[in-house]
């Protein structure tokens, strides 16, 4: 059995008068992470509290969130050092960054040697247009740590093709940093995350930014979870571990990677294979053919 321990840091965003204040909150959550955790994940855009470090920020709007790009190097240094000092893989949520004349919502995976890989969010939620955010074009699976892992940032969980591509390319765990401003948004991502587990017979880790920091920062709603397929190898509801709603906390769970491959062959629902088993039927229909030409 290949057992993997995962910790999700549900981050309650606060007004941060300085980077040191943000760093302190990160450190307090990391202190709750067990040293045996193989993977640690933070949420999407959890650096937004840094917007309030700028003079006059009370008059800012959501469009001004791109200013937090000024803290990019501090952010990378912080998580590179944490990953190296703790010898853990840290999915450090995501951060708004300027590249050339464009801004991207970029998620990072920091390795135990302090280096990192990055993923530019490929599907921008409509509200992100307020931040002038551009979309990335690449989907990758990473052989980092004891599992093959991939990223689906928030809205990407609602696009089934992304997780399918990841699973076909070998992903065993899909990590989802998320920031949803309403309960409706939270449940969209959460239900889709559970569906992606069932469709692809993978583990899915959903980690949201939460809190009510006040204008100009958006509220966050959510409950972090480590999810599995809904089959006999796991709990009936497919929940491996789950946080409390909107609480600043860490939730930790253990998953068995080998069980995924057993389940794909002998589970009650063998959806990983069956999703393409009758492709000869699907291709008879024009919507399917048109869809695959796009």
3: phi then psi, degrees, rounded to nearest 5? -90, 135
The pLDDT, as a whole number, for residue 288 is: 63
Domain 3-293 has CATH 3.40.50.1820: no
Mean pLDDT over residues 197-222, rounded? 96
Per residue in 46-74, pLDDT tens? 999 999 999 998 889 878 889 999 999 99
Per residue in 251-267, pLDDT tens? 999 999 999 999 999 99
Tell me if residue 76 is catalytic: no
Catalytic, out of 9, 44, 172, 176: 44
Catalytic, out of 76, 111, 120, 121: 121
The pLDDT, as a whole number, for residue 148 is: 98
Share of the chain above pLDDT 70, in %: 97
51 three-class SS: helix
Per residue in 85-120, pLDDT tens? 999 999 999 999 999 999 999 999 999 999 999 999
The pLDDT, as a whole number, for residue 81 is: 98
Q: How wide is the angle at C-alpha 137 spanned by C-alphas 136 and 141, nearest 5°?
A: 100
The pLDDT, as a whole number, for residue 202 is: 98
What gap in Å lies between CA 228 and CA 230, rounded to an integer? Answer: 6
Across the chain, what does the average pLDDT equal?
Answer: 94
- Sole residue written with tokens 């796009």: 294
- Sole residue written with tokens 């450190």: 27
Catalytic, out of 9, 154, 192, 197: 154
Residue 294: pLDDT band (50, 70, 90) is: very low
Tell me if residue 279 is catalytic: no
Tell me whether strands 142-144 and 147-151 are parallel, antiparallel or unpaired. antiparallel
Residue 21, pLDDT > 50, answer yes
Residue 275, pLDDT > 60, answer yes
Tell me if residue 286 is catalytic: no
């Amino acid at each position: 059995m290949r057992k993997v321990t995962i910790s999700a840091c549900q981050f309650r965003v606060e007004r941060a008068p300085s980077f040191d204040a943000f760093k302190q909150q990160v450190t307090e959550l990391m202190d709750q992470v067990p040293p045996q955790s193989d993977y640690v994940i933070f949420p999407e855009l959890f650096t937004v509290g840094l917007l309030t470090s700028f003079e006059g920020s009370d008059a800012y709007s959501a469009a001004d969130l791109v200013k937090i790009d000024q803290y990019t190097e501090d952010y990378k240094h912080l998580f590179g050092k944490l990953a190296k000092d703790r010898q853990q893989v840290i999915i450090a949520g995501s951060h708004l960054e300027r590249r050339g004349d464009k801004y991207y919502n970029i998620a990072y995976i920091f390795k135990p040697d302090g280096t990192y890989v990055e993923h530019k969010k490929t599907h921008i939620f409509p509200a992100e247009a307020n931040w002038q955010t551009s979309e990335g074009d690449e989907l990758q699976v990473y052989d980092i740590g004891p599992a093959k892992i991939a990223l689906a940032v928030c809205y990407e969980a609602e696009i089934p093709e992304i997780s399918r591509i990841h699973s076909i390319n070998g992903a065993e765990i899909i990590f989802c940093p998320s920031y949803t401003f309403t309960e409706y948004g939270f449940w969209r991502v959460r239900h889709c995350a559970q569906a992606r587990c069932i469709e692809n017979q993978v583990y899915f880790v959903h980690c949201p930014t939460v809190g009510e920091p006040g204008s100009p920062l958006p509220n966050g709603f959510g409950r972090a979870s480590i999810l599995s397929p809904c089959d006999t190898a796991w709990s009936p509801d497919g929940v491996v571990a789950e946080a409390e709603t909107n609480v600043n906390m860490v939730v930790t769970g253990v998953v068995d990677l080998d069980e995924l491959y057993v389940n794909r062959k002998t589970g009650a629902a063998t959806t990983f294979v069956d999703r393409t088993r009758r492709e000869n039927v699907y291709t008879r229909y024009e919507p399917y053919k048109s869809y695959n030409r796009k």
